[in-house]
Structures are given as C-alpha cells and as structure tokens.
Amino acid sequence: MTVRVRHDGGGEALTDNDFGDRLRSAMVARGPLCVGIDPHPALLSAWGLPDDVRGLERFAHTCVEALAAHTAVLKPQSAFFERHGARGVAVLEAVLAGIRAAGALALLDVKRGDIGSTMTAYAQAYLDPASPLGADAVTLSPFLGYESLRPALDAAAQHGAGVFVLALTSNPEGAQVQHARCGATSVAQSVVEGVRADNADAPDLGWAGLVIGATVDSGVRDLQLDLLGSRAPILAPGMGAQGGRPQDLAGVFGAALPNVLASTSRDVLAAGPSVSALRQAAQRIGEDVRIAVEAASAVAEGALPGRHGSR
C-alpha cells in the first residue's frame, strides 16, 4: 500500500490507499459516474449568474453542495476557472478541497503535456498533496510521447494519486493523430501499452488511467486496444449531450466495461441552479450507467462455460 499524506481543511493528516483502490471503492459505493464542473459562460448565464468571479464561485460551490457527497468523482475543468485569473484559481483551490472533504474524488481536468522540468512543475502543482491545487488525479496529454509524462507518472505513483492519459478521443480531429501508425502500432495503442506497463503490479485497477471517448464507436476494436489487460481505469467522456448513451458502453468497451468511469457534464449541469435538481439528474444518469454495466456483466457471465445460459 502506498501511504499518502493528505490534509483536509482542518489540517488533519489522512492516509489513503493507492488511487486505483480508492477509485474502485468509490465506484462500488456511489456508482461509476464522473460529473464535470464546467462553469462556461453559457451555463453561468443559464443559471442567472454573472460571468465573473462571483458567478463562478456560486456555480462551483453549488455543484459541490449538490454532488460531492453522492457522486464518485467530480471533475473541475481548470480552464473555466483560470479564465478569471488569480481569483478564479483561488475558487478552484476551494472547490478541490470541498470535493474531497465531502468524500468524492477530485479529478482535475488540465490535459497537461510537456517535457522535463516543465512537466515536473505541473506534477508538483497538481499531484503533490502539499499543493493547494493538489487533486486525487489529473488528465494528461501524451502526444509529445508517453515517456514525456514520466515526471507526472512518477509523482502520481509516489503520492498515491492517479492520472488519466488521453488515448482515443471522440473529437473528429483526434483520429489524425491517435489512429496514426508507427509500423504496426497505432499511437493510441502505444499509449495503452505505456499505461499497461505502469500498471503491471496492480491487482485490480492501477493508478494510470486512460481517456477514451464514449462515442468512439468501433475504434477500440479497430485499433485492437487491450483495455482490460492494461488494468486501467477508463474515463469515458461524451455521455449525454455529446451523444454517448449508457446502453452503448458495452459495445465500445467490451470486457473492460467494469473499469469504465462514465463522464457527463452538460446533462447534469443543465438542471441547475437547484441543488436537488442537480443531484437528481446525476443520480438518474448514474443509475442508467449502473444498470447498463450490470446488464452487460450478466450477459458476459452467462456466456462463460459452466454458467447458466452458456452455449
């Protein structure tokens, strides 16, 4: 077990298991759902809030109040806080603390990717529990080469934190890079292999995760990505407004479906600013995902030799 010293608002030292263990526990207890906190101008306006730091703070803390005690993972998008300058970053610091104080995991969506000392600085900012911006996990971009992320990967392992590395995204431009091949291996496949190597000692979920869009259709199969063998937790953005449906997850992720953390944002946030409506929206989507995962698991178990219903 990696021991991670973390401080809550009162300064009390806490110890945690590795990120993969904590994520699995959260998914079992609260369901396999991640909700983004994306305070972009259109949503602030829809909530009747001004597009300034006051509106940002009201929006973000309402999300924490509604969701952090009931959802496995909350994912603040750093850019929407950074656009408000230093005061916006201060709100982000408070949001990260509030998420974790309520028992959810904080996944900071920063998609950083750099080299050398710069990557080390990003790792210190986001993965060191002593940092005011420290989170349980971050998103990373590997397209300067998977090993360029090594300072962040090592920091995550050291601190019991997690990373989610972009592998196969559902934006139309992504295929140009992610499907490209060097010899027989696609770029996406090389990312999955890098994650698999970092998770080699994990008995269940590792600390190195993958970002694979819920709407990539047959991309996982076409590129022959061994998601289950990677032992990676899989962040699957694109649920809801972007076209992803819970009932389609099994077709995208196959046997790795139990390791999928479905991610949604607009379908939940559109229910605000009511705390109860936000919570109900997240619970409805989370229940749909849970049912889809359980149904796919039941089908898979029934197909095993010796199981009832096998052929």
Show which residues are catalytic.
111
Residue that the structure tokens 């989370």 belong to: 286
Please give the structure tokens belonging to residue 168.
Answer: 């196969």
Within 113-173, where are the H helices?
Answer: 116-126, 150-159
Please give the structure tokens belonging to residue 142.
Answer: 């590997």
Rounded (10°) CA dihedral 283, 288, 292, 293: -10
CA distance linking residue 297 with residue 307, whole number of Å: 13
CB atoms inside a 10 Å sphere around CB 12:
8
Please give the structure tokens belonging to residue 35.
Answer: 């909700």
Paired with 193 in beta bridges are none
